[in-house]
Structure 1
Amino acid sequence: MRQKGYLGVRYMFVRRAVTAMLICAAMMTLLTSCSEPVEKKELLAPVVSVGEIGVCERGDIAKLMVKDAHVEGDFEVLSFDADGYIFEIFSDVGDEVGKGDAIAALTSADFEEIMTLEQEIEEIKKENEKRRKYLEAQVKLKEKNGEDAEEERLTCEKEEALMDLKLSQKEARYKKLKEEDIGYNYITAPGDGHVVAVSSSDQGAYITAGTPVAAVATDETGMFISGAYIPEKEAVGYDSFYAIINGKEYPLTYVPVAKDVLASLSAASLSPKSRFTFVTPPGDEVSIGDYAALIVVAAKKENVLTVPVNSVYTDKDGRFVYVILEGDKKERREVVTGLSDGARIEVIEGVREGESVYVEN
């Protein structure tokens, strides 16, 4: 019994000692935390991947648009001198042609009627033959039965006469049309060159004389740049144009398309093209058919303050940048922006020249 009591007292003593040690440890931790205040950090930038530092600096900036174009020669618009139906357009845009090569063929306005007459004449002949056989069978049947077949004979002769008259009228019209030479009418290339435009009219489409069907460029002495159509009203609002041909830059002059030309092209289902003249210095090798990158300078500003475009952020309050301060701190600044070329953007208000801004990768 003495041994049991001794163990119980010893257990209580150990438990109290452990409890006291835990309380002391907790108090020490509390006192330590109170004596060392926690530094409060303020995130001045969004949590993003590691970025770079950009500089607010002055320079020229331009908004550019790049369009596909080609070097073309002075071209001639081709059309038929008669009304008719398009039989086939043999060439496509970009095809090289030689002088006299057929570009398209036309059948006369009577072509469809002739084709119809040919079918009708064949059908009338077949129907006439069937009707004659039927009437002859009726006459023979009457005679076989010993009946008077005179009435059937008269009916047969009358119907045959009507059928022959109808057939002769069709054949006479057909012969007249054929005698008027309704063969194919061709338009051909006026010289060596290549096709720069063709009508989108389908085979069999009816067109009138003078309707543009194709255009062929032949004269290398009057080369120009041809590209996607830019209306004159739109073109006058741009700053300038230039082309890059074989790695070299050439200033361009916009040439408006006359209204009557636009109207005729539209009537022929032809898409208009914009034309630009340029000057090739001696020694430059530029040929018809060469690819040209047409650069449209939509707007341009000189000596303006710019920052990298990726340094400008946007939220519900507007646009802003993070300016890098001493100690690598970042300060949010609202900015007013202007023209951008895709790499840099004009800043009208909000930053000063020489300041550094955070650029997100």
Structure 2
Amino acid sequence: MTIAPRKRKSRRGPILLVALVALAVTAYVVKDRYYAAPTVTMMTATVTPGSVEETVLATGQLRPVKLVAVGAQVSGRITSLAVGLGDRVKAGDLIAEIDSVTQQNDLKKAEASLASVRAQRSEKEASLTLARQTLERQQTMVSQNAVARADLESAEASVKTTEAQIAALDAEIQSSEVAVATAEADLGYTRITAPIDGTVLAVVSQAGQTVNAVQSAPTIVVLGQLDTMTVRAEISEADVVHVTPGQKVYFTIIGDPDHRYDATLESIDPAPASIRNDSDITSSSSSSSSSSSSTAIYYYGNFNVPNPEGRLRTYMTAEVNIVLGRAENVLTVPAAALGNREPDGAYRVKVLNTDGSTDERRVEIGLNDKVTAEVKSGLSDGDKVVTGEMTAAQRAASSSSLRLGRGGGGPPPGM
């Protein structure tokens, strides 16, 4: 009797099942540890009363309210300079003197010419008197038929000729008087005096230097009135539409940023300074219009500020704030909490409820300085608004950077 061999039971099935289970467990652990959705924490801020000021920022330059370049109107050598850098002068004070020999000689020539013409006129007046006497005698003698009529006509012509010569000399006298006045003025120009009260800001020409005033007036010194300074602030074309004269302004200077100077905007230039170089004004060429379109356009806003202590100096840089509006004791919210602006001007804001849920509210905003915004409606005092979201990894990175410091260096010595 033949006995059939027993089949061996296969173990592959259980092993495969165990392997699959282990793989699933491993995948779950890996997913849970490395691919789990990060926990998100909402960053919030509380709606509180406060102040909001909306301003336009501009960079300005300080200049004296009056700035005058005192120049020479005649040519010559500067014989003396009566002022120095930083001196204060009054209107009419002597600034400099120019060698006046040439101007004195020109005046003497003009006066001599005038005297000569006046002497000629005196001579002609005597001739006219004689001619008139001769005419009277001729008229008497003609009435008595003692002389010919031709002699009378000759006497009349002599009177008229002498009168015309005197009239011509009168015109020459006027011309000579003008020449004398011009020579006197030129002589006076050799004494250069201050046209305004002010301070000597620059000495351009020195004693002994020769100046030539034929084509242009050479500058001797520059005077400025420093008791009042003018600020010319560059306002961009994007901001100038919101700015009008009469608005409050304040500014600081680089050397003293903690001191605030207050003033009122007085005027805005109707065109940018670049219009002076616009070739379309002086020629028919329009090729410059395309090249200038890529440059920034600025309009100057002007205002004055008292400078009694002289702390503000010429050409200092001023960081100017033009106040568009200011609200005191109003509800405020961080600008970061505002969503996109809707067509009617309202914003959507997320509000965190006490149970941890969030609601979206429609909020009307007033002034907004890009950091803090004025709430007109839609929120109440104490509401918590969502300003952003932060994951656990971001919180850890932020905490680490705070411990290390802004520069990323290690802990301070001794830690």
Q: TM-score, normalised by structure 2?
A: 0.39
Q: TM-score, normalised by structure 1?
A: 0.44
